[in-house]
């Protein structure tokens, strides 16, 4: 029997995913929080329809003070434009609408954390 197919859990958080699709709405700009300390940054916001019909909300942060550049980028991206974008796995957030069969499962070890060293008794 061969190796099982890799899953997202097999990839490091820095792994890059590439998406392409069609803008479902005109792009817009907003000020969005960038951390838990209350910092905000100009953000380019996109609603993208993927080839199989799924919708993705994508955001690109601009450096502080670059709100005009963010607005200019948003003005260039119009509904129906074919676009592509890259996101790191660590920056991906999924929202699944219409789920069913939710169940509580036993804990799964965090595959991104190194395993603890085995404890050995002192001699």
Q: Tens digit of pLDDT for each residue in 11-38?
A: 888 889 899 999 999 999 999 998 889 8
27, with CB counted inside 10 A (0-12, 13-18, 19+), is buried
Tallying the residues shown for the chain, one arrives at: 123
Q: Tens digit of pLDDT for each residue in 40-86?
A: 999 999 999 999 999 999 999 999 999 999 999 999 999 999 999 99
Residue 60 backbone phi and psi in degrees, to 5: -120, 120
Q: Which helix (H) or strand (E) holds 75?
A: helix 67-76
pTM of the model: 0.72
Q: Bridge partners of 58?
A: 46
- Tokens representing 23? 């803008």
Which residues, at least 6 apart from 12, have a Cβ–Cβ distance to it below 8 Å?
A: 89, 112
């Amino acid at each position: 029997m061969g190796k099982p197919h890799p899953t997202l859990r097999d990839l490091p958080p820095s792994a890059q995913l590439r998406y392409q699709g069609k803008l479902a709405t005109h792009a817009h700009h907003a000020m969005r929080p960038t951390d838990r300390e209350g910092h905000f940054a100009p953000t380019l916001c996109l609603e993208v329809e993927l080839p199989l019909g799924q919708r993705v909300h994508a955001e690109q942060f601009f450096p502080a003070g670059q709100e005009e550049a963010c607005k200019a980028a948003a003005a260039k991206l119009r509904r129906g434009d074919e676009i592509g974008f890259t996101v790191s796995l660590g920056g991906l957030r999924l929202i699944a609408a219409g789920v069913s069969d939710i169940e509580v499962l036993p804990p799964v070890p965090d595959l991104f954390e190194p395993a603890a060293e085995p404890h050995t008794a002192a001699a």
